[in-house]
Amino acid sequence: VDVSAAGFRPNDKMFVVHAIGDSMQPKIHDGDLCVFEVYGSENAGSREGKIVLTTCKDKDSEYDCSFTIKEYHSKKIHHEDGTWEHEWIRLKSLNPQYPTIEITPADAENGCTVGVFRKVL
């Protein structure tokens, strides 16, 4: 994908996804090309309130797919030893016509954040 006119400088951690559906309108529309940056140990950090691309097998009932683009929200439990764990994770559609996807800690083991949204081309 040629991004030379997109007004940003891509790096080797970025990739483009073709969005399907209207669950993220008004920000992302059906057919948009979306730039994501790989989410991993190098740039791991809070995803709270960010739009993410997440593996979500059997959780997004609107589409028969293994990935979903949603706004990420979570609640963490902090332990006295300094460790923490998720109490819950919610993947929220921006379009109110679509339900929020609830992820339990057990579900989270089968899914992961693949990338963090940067822009629509």
Residue 25 has pLDDT above 70, yes or no: yes
Question: What pLDDT, on the 0 to 100 scale, is given for residue 20?
Answer: 92
**DSSP conformation letters of 82-103:** S-EEEEEEEEE-SSTTSPPEEE
Say what percent of the chain tops pLDDT 70.
84
Question: What pLDDT, on the 0 to 100 scale, is given for residue 85?
Answer: 82
* Stated pTM of the model: 0.83
The H or E element that residue 108 is part of is helix 105-108
- Tokens representing 33 are 């090309």
Residue 58 has pLDDT above 60, yes or no: no
